[in-house]
């Protein structure tokens, strides 16, 4: 981190003060930014918005954008579990009939500077309209690495877009986004096979998954040669895959999210919205809070941005009509309401970022092929073995849930590969299954499919890598000596009792809960059978059998 910055001379303040700062972005995904107002979660209860109080509670100290009165905000059924609620909503809401606003967008900071360049000292920003003193937001104490001289050198070579706060001509940046990270309008068509293997090759082609490679876009499918000229302003659906972290042995599986938005006039992508499902019941060491979040914040927030920790990969499908993107975005916003209400909770096997996203896709009618679980046999053997060797039943249950979860709901890399390949097959008309109404509309509307490689941003963080695609691959990444494994401890975030809805149904039991009950029942049956066998044997010998033997 830049420990000291040059002192800004008083004579410069008049120049600095005249540089223009936007109060917000132009858009949040598919939505004009003018349809939102910026506030914080402390406005709860929010008298001017339809955002639920449970959602606001998580952002008490954070800048958020909430829909203005009169906008149609995503709702929820308080009496239904999230999956059933979404299923019923989807049945009565055809794609294109509604565009529901998310209850909030986590923007992090209220002010934006565009087309800026860091000077060689790293202490000033030069913009088209003036000069600012510059520093970065503080590092979270729990965040073990941060912006440093390598970061300043990287950003000093390009124009940047920043989110932060201006204080009398000194801008404190919270997000720094490279403006050259955008869809390349000159990228030539380079098709790839519509297979998971081809998508995996793209992810793994560069050393360390492209962590230190250049930002790159590759057009892999086009409806016609003129599709690239029509790209500006087109709505889109995207798949986001983040790689493995280099200094956290719990993060080799990566992260997954779904994206909606519109392509900028020059291919800009910073305003796209990422649905970032993340645990709500613990405090992230990087300050991450589950939310719909602009892509520049998602990737480049100085503490929580994924690109500070690992390489990322993005598949973008541009569309001639927004109906399928709007339907997906509305569904994701509806699920967030149930998530904030704790109608269901984040679970690393049954309901992680990948599982929630893939279930949402399938519930609205995009039937990405499933791969099945890893192994029921290993799960049945693993639960008691791990519980006994570690002395913790929770560890055994976790193994059971991991090994029995459907793999495209468990592992981000497999979700990305399967969904990307399926999208290419839909576009190319080679899908073997009968299409749902949603899939048919998606097939009709796709204009281009583009793969994007996003490198890791330089900092004091260790370089990351591509995400693993299986449990065995994950184990090979771990140091053999458990003492050398890097695991970042996090504290709990208790959910207030007064925000829990008594009408909400109880969460469904985990598969491991049923397994423990089955093991317990089996143990009791076995114990009963053994007791009965001993009792019958003694009865057969009779009361004098012992004395006769003497």
Calpha distance 200→215 (Å, rounded):
18
Tokens found for residue 280: 């709500």
pLDDT at 442: 98
pTM greater than 0.85 (yes/no): yes
In this predicted model, what pLDDT tens digit does every residue of 55-81 receive, in sequence order? Answer: 999 999 999 999 999 999 999 999 999
Q: Enter the tokens of residue 281.
A: 């019941």
Query: What's the pLDDT score for residue 41?
Result: 85
Angstrom distances, CA of residue 508 to CA of 211, 347, 513? 39, 12, 10
Instruction: Give the pairing of strands 235-242 and 312-319.
Output: antiparallel
From CA 407, how far away is CA 299, in angstroms rounded?
25
**Which ranges constitute the DSSP H helices of 429-507?**
437-445, 471-477
Estimate the crossing angle of helix 412-428 against helix 353-363, to 10 degrees: 30
pLDDT of residue 167: 87
Asked if 413 and 468 touch (Cβ cutoff 8 Å), the reply is yes
Sign of the dihedral through C-alpha 409, 410, 412, 413: negative
> In angstroms, how far apart are the furthest CA atoms of the chain?
114
CA distances from 390 to 381, 383, 387, 393, 395 (A): 15, 11, 5, 8, 7
Contact 83, 113 (CB under 8 A): no
Identify whether 45 is preceded by a cis peptide bond (ω within 30 of 0).
yes
Tell me, what's the pLDDT at 317?
Answer: 98
Reduced 3-state DSSP string for 265-290: CCCCCCCCEEEECCCCCECCCCCCCC
Name the token pair of 398.
């976790």
12 token code pair: 């410069």
User: Is residue 515 within 8 Å of residue 384, measured between CB atoms?
Assistant: no
Q: Would strands 216-222 and 235-242 be described as parallel, antiparallel, or unpaired?
A: unpaired
Domain boundaries, the chain: 10-175, 180-482
Residue 260 in 3-state DSSP? strand
At residue 418, φ and ψ (nearest 5 deg) are -70, -40
3-state secondary structure of 338: helix
**SS3 state at 542:** coil
Determine the Cα angle at 336 with ends 447 and 237, to 5°: 5
Q: Alpha-carbon distance 419 to 535, whole Å?
A: 60
- Alpha-carbon distance values, 455 to 118, 178, 308 (Å): 20, 11, 9
Half-sphere exposure of 408 (CA within 13 A, CB side): 21
Which pLDDT tens digits describe the chain residue by residue (550 residues)?
333 323 333 333 333 333 456 666 789 999 999 999 999 888 645 666 789 999 999 999 999 999 999 999 999 999 999 999 999 999 999 998 878 999 999 999 989 999 999 998 999 999 887 888 999 999 999 998 999 999 999 999 999 999 999 988 899 999 999 999 999 999 999 999 999 999 999 999 999 999 999 999 999 999 999 999 999 999 999 999 999 999 887 889 999 999 999 999 999 999 999 999 999 999 999 999 999 999 999 999 999 999 999 999 999 999 999 999 999 999 999 999 999 999 999 998 989 999 999 999 999 999 999 999 999 999 999 999 999 999 999 999 999 999 999 999 999 999 999 999 999 999 999 999 999 999 999 999 999 999 999 999 999 999 999 999 998 898 888 887 777 778 778 889 999 999 998 888 888 899 999 998 998 898 888 888 888 888 888 877 766 544 444 4
Which of 440, 327, 281 lies closest to 99, judged by CA?
Answer: 327
- Give the pLDDT confidence score for residue 543 in this predicted structure: 60
Question: By three-state DSSP, how is residue 137 classified?
Answer: coil
């Amino acid at each position: 981190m830049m420990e000291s910055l040059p002192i800004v001379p008083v004579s410069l303040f008049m120049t600095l003060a005249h540089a223009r700062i936007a109060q917000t972005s132009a858009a949040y995904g598919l939505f004009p930014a003018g349809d939102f107002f910026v506030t914080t979660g402390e406005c709860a209860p929010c008298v001017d918005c339809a955002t639920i109080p449970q959602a606001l509670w998580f952002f008490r100290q954070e800048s958020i954008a909430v829909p203005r009165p009169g906008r149609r905000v995503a709702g929820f059924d308080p009496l239904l579990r999230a999956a059933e609620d979404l299923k019923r909503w989807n049945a009565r809401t055809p794609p294109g009939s509604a565009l529901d606003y998310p209850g909030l967008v986590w923007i992090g900071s209220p002010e934006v500077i565009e087309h800026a360049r860091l000077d060689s000292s790293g202490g000033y920003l030069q913009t088209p309209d003036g000069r600012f003193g510059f520093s970065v937001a503080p590092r979270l104490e729990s965040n073990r690495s941060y912006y440093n001289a390598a970061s300043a050198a990287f950003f000093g070579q390009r124009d940047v877009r920043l989110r932060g706060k201006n204080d009398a001509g000194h801008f404190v940046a919270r997000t720094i986004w490279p403006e050259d990270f955008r869809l390349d309008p000159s990228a030539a068509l380079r098709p790839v096979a519509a297979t998971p293997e081809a998508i995996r090759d793209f992810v793994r082609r560069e050393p360390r998954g492209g962590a230190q490679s250049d930002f790159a876009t590759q057009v892999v499918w086009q409806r016609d040669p003129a599709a690239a000229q029509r790209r500006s302003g087109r709505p889109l659906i995207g798949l986001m895959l983040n790689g493995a972290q280099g200094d956290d042995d719990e993060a080799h599986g990566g992260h997954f999210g779904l994206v909606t938005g519109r392509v900028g006039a020059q291919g800009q992508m910073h305003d796209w919205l990422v649905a970032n499902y993340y645990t709500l019941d613990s405090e992230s060491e990087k300050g991450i809070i589950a939310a719909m979040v602009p892509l520049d914040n998602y990737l480049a927030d100085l503490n929580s941005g994924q690109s500070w920790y690992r390489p990322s990969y993005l598949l973008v499908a541009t569309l001639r009509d927004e109906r399928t993107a709007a339907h997906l975005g509305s569904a994701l916003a509806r699920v967030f309401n149930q998530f904030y209400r704790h109608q269901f909770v984040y679970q690393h096997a049954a309901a992680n970022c990948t599982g929630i996203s893939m279930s949402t896709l399938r519930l609205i009618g995009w039937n990405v092929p499933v791969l099945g679980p890893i192994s029921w046999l290993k799960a049945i053997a693993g639960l008691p073995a791990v519980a006994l060797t570690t002395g913790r039943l929770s560890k055994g249950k976790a193994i059971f849930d991991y090994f029995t979860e459907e793999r495209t709901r468990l592992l981000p890399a497999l979700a990305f590969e399967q969904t990307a390949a399926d999208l290419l097959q839909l576009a190319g008309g080679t899908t073997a299954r009968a299409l749902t109404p949603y899939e048919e509309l998606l097939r009709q509307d796709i204009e281009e499919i583009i793969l994007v490689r996003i490198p890791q941003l330089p900092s004091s963080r260790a370089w990351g890598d591509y995400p693993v695609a299986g449990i065995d691959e994950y184990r090979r990444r771990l140091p053999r000596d458990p003492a050398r494994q890097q695991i970042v401890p996090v504290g709990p975030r208790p959910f207030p009792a007064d925000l829990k809805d008594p009408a909400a149904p109880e969460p469904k039991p985990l598969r491991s809960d049923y397994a423990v009950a089955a093991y317990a029942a089996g143990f009791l049956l076995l114990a009963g059978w053994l007791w009965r066998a001993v009792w019958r044997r003694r009865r057969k010998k009779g009361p004098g059998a012992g004395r006769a033997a003497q």
